[in-house]
Amino acid sequence: MALSRSVEVAVPADPAGDGDRDKIRLRQLGYKQELKRGLSTLSNFAFSFANISVLTGVTATYNTGLRYGGPVSMTLGWLVVALFNGCVALSMAEICSAYPTSGGLYYWSAKLAGKEWASLASWVTGWFNIVGQWAAIASVDFSLAQLLQVIILLSTGGANGGGYMASKYVVLVICAIILILHGVINSLPIQWLSLFGQIGAIWNAAGVFVLVILIPAVAKDRPSVEFVFTHLNTDNGMGIHSKAYILAVGLLMSQYSVLGYDTSAHMVEETKNADRSGPIGIITSVVCATVFGWIYLLALTTAVTDIPYLLSPGNDAGGYAIAQALYTAFRRRFGSGAGGIACLGAVAVAIFLCGIACVTSNSRMAYAFSRDGAMPLSRVWYRVNKHEVPLNVVWLAVAVAFFMALTSLGSQVAFQALGSIATLGMYIAYALPVFFRVTTARRSFVPGPFNLGKYGVLVGWVGVVWVATVTVLFSLPVAYPVANKETFNYTPVAVGGVLLLSVGAWVLHARFWFQGPITNTSDGPI
């Protein structure tokens, strides 16, 4: 990686440290400063790290990893995903340094795709990004509602001891309450949001640290090292017997768990020294999430000995593997599962803080997208209140996420597809500007202070090929035979639907008026 001063337009230094340098650079990109620039590099990183929240991702998708491949698909699969995902993050950091705007991905695509394709590239990238973020909010908040339901179930005696099992309607109401709380918190000034972001980062780091020590120490029955790193679970009950197929589907857990680092890019118009702080936020959040997530996975797997029992709907936790593993470990050691319930409570706090960061990131992206006229009723969404907060798009995110969560009433499999939709939607949005960067590198990309030097194109291509690969993998059937709505993989339908609708809207309507990012300064971009 190289550092240089080669930016699109020379930006004067800011010795006073009052943010003028950032305002000048933003104006050069075509925008006036409207959001309050009060975030430091640390705060920018904290938002991304809290959004990624490995405690959230790993906990919410551990059942998937355990069912499809088991320990080996998680412990070693995590490292495979980390390698390729790191290439995507590095390329995004490089582009963020060159174009530090809240629009992030869709703005980058417009600048890198070339004049002929700029508006279409921007349009499609933006819609994949925003739909992926909406799905992520719904997925995170609903997973928190499910976890709270499991905590209540275990606290009242468990499924086999007369515990309270909430209906799907009650779980949906809990999800709605969580979404409203996240909307209220995101209506606060950026100083308060920054505090929540920092608390989220600290809570995730401290939570992983405590659980990594506590779980192996409490668990009486621990698997062998060989089991943790090499055992392949083929007893998934889904009619899939190919080991390669099982491992491929199992990678969803790792891919989903390190998602959301575009938050650093969406927060750059509120961050000081944005062309350096943004890239640093992306890279450090991914590195920290990768390390913390892996050791958390290892700790959890030390409490796994009977995979079929942990996944069985007939256990005390109703089939919630992590909850059952922790509950059993503490009960065998101390005669009570209260300690396991407390651990689940700590994870629930991490997921709640993650949801705050998800709404924050989405609101900034939607604010920028509506600023460029790309969203219906853009004039409504492109508004900030007296605290310089884009309040309307905050509540738009809450509303859309709730409507997405309603799919849980029809089919649990359909709702579970939201995790895949969030993953693929976001990663496709990540990959598109990277693709344009590597295909137009010689003619249009001028790096910012952070750049990869001669390795930029190679790293970018590795990231693009990886996203293309996982897009195919996660669209494959996850159960055989595919006979009904409970075994159908809705992911390709949803992702294909976003592509079809965005391109269709472009062809029929948007191409006549949407020209990509538009400026709101008198002199336009330089």
Q: Does some domain include residue 115?
A: no
Phi and psi at 69, nearest 5°, equal 105, -35
Q: What's the whole-number mean pLDDT along residues 154-171?
A: 91
Give one DSSP letter per residue of 375-439, joined into a string: STTHHHHS---TTS--HHHHHHHHHHHHHHHGGGGT-HHHHHHHHHHHHHHHHHHHHHHHHHHHH
Choose the weakest-confidence range: 102-106, 114-118, 358-362, 514-518.
Answer: 514-518
Q: Is the pLDDT of residue 431 over 70?
A: yes
Residue 416 — pLDDT band, cuts 50, 70, 90?
low
More confident residue, 454 or 30: 454
Query: What are 58-115's pLDDT values in tens digits?
Result: 888 888 888 888 899 898 999 999 999 999 999 999 999 989 887 788 889 988 988 8
> Mean pLDDT over all residues of the chain?
85
Q: How far is CA 264 from CA 46, 365, 456, in A?
A: 9, 11, 20
Domain with residue 82: its CATH number is 1.20.1740.10
pLDDT for the residue 151: 96
DSSP summary character for residue 281: H
Task: Judge contact between 408 and 142, C-beta under 8 A.
Answer: yes
Helix segments in 156-273, DSSP class H? 168-185, 190-218, 225-230, 243-257, 263-266
Residue 522 — pLDDT band, cuts 50, 70, 90?
low
Radius of gyration of the chain (CA): 22
Q: Rounded to whole angstroms, how far apart are CA atoms 154 and 274?
A: 46
- The upper half-sphere exposure of residue 54, i.e. CA atoms within 13 Å in the direction of its Cβ, equals 28
Beta strands 2-3 and 450-451 are antiparallel
Residue 366 — pLDDT band, cuts 50, 70, 90?
confident
- Whole-model pTM: value is 0.86
DSSP summary character for residue 233: B
Q: Does some domain include residue 476?
A: no
Q: Rounded to whole angstroms, how far apart are CA atoms 383 and 301?
A: 47
Q: Total domain count for the chain?
A: 1
Q: Does some domain include residue 407?
A: yes
Please report, as a single letter, which amino acid is at residue 425: G
pLDDT for the residue 523: 52
- Count of CB atoms situated within 10 Å of the CB of 39: 27
pLDDT for the residue 17: 47
pLDDT for the residue 6: 37
Residue 16 — pLDDT band, cuts 50, 70, 90?
very low
pLDDT for the residue 377: 77
Q: Is the pLDDT of residue 19 over 60?
A: no
Task: Judge contact between 117 and 124, C-beta under 8 A.
Answer: no
Q: Does some domain include residue 480?
A: no
Query: What are 251-307's pLDDT values in tens digits?
Result: 888 888 888 888 888 888 888 888 899 999 999 999 999 999 999 999 999 888 888
Burial of 16 (0-12, 13-18, 19+ CB in 10 A): exposed
Residue 20 — pLDDT band, cuts 50, 70, 90?
confident
Please report, as a single letter, which amino acid is at residue 490: Y
Q: Is the pLDDT of residue 433 over 70?
A: yes
Q: Does some domain include residue 146?
A: yes
Q: Does some domain include residue 122?
A: no
The percentage of the chain sitting over the pLDDT mark of 90, rounded to a whole number, equals 33
Q: Rounded to whole angstroms, how far apart are CA atoms 229 and 74?
A: 9
Residue 274: domain span: 36-104+132-414
Q: What's the whole-number mean pLDDT along residues 401-425?
A: 77
Q: Does some domain include residue 427?
A: no
Residue 525 — pLDDT band, cuts 50, 70, 90?
low
Q: What's the whole-number mean pLDDT along residues 476-488?
A: 72
pLDDT for the residue 485: 66
Phi and psi at 57, nearest 5°, equal -60, -50
The percentage of the chain sitting over the pLDDT mark of 70, rounded to a whole number, equals 91
Q: Is the pLDDT of residue 524 over 60?
A: no
Q: Does some domain include residue 304?
A: yes
Q: Is the pLDDT of residue 367 over 90?
A: no
Q: Rounded to whole angstroms, how far apart are CA atoms 428 and 494?
A: 13
pLDDT for the residue 1: 42
Helix (H, G, I), strand (E, B) or coil at 271: strand
> Under the phi-then-psi rule, with left for phi > 0, alpha for psi from -120 to 50, and beta for the rest, what region is 6?
beta
Q: Rounded to whole angstroms, how far apart are CA atoms 74 and 298?
A: 9
pLDDT for the residue 521: 62
More confident residue, 21 or 212: 212
Give one DSSP letter per residue of 345-369, joined into a string: HHHHHHHHHHHHHHHHHHHHHHHHH
Task: Judge contact between 232 and 73, C-beta under 8 A.
Answer: yes
pLDDT for the residue 146: 92
Helix (H, G, I), strand (E, B) or coil at 450: strand
